[in-house]
Amino acid sequence: MNEPIKVSDESFQKEVVESSLPVLVDFWAPWCGPCRMIAPTIDEISREFAGKVKVVKLNTDENPTTAMNYNIMGIPTLGIFVNGELVDQIVGAYPKSHIVDKLNYFLGGLAKN
């Protein structure tokens, strides 16, 4: 599980809400420049946090229902889910260190990179 998992409206419940691991959801679209800009960072985080955090990508153009359900108003938005609940959002293209700090906060500081 080194690369982000592509999820859809249909698989979101199983892959994110029912996950035993915390989940970082990348809400993105192919036409979004900042989304493409942070994609390599999301891939790195997926590899570095393997076994600690599940990383998934949801194309909001193809899966608008889930984005609407979580009030995603702009992309990129990174949603952090713990025990099936959306606990934090990062809206915009932030540096890797900011995203890692947020993840470590919700992991209780156990995952050091």
**Choice among 7, 16, 23, 35 that is catalytic:** 35
Contacting residues for 80 by C-beta, under 8 A, at least 6 apart: 22, 23, 24, 25, 86, 87, 88, 89, 90, 102, 103, 106
Sign of CA dihedral 105, 13, 34, 91: negative
**Omega before 76 cis (within 30°)?**
yes
Is there a catalytic annotation at residue 50?
no
74 is catalytic: no
- Return d(Cα 92, Cα 90) in angstroms, integer: 6
What's the rounded Cα separation, in Å, for the pair 48 and 113? 7
Choosing from 16, 23, 25, 32, the catalytic residue is: 32
**Could you list the active site residues?**
32, 35
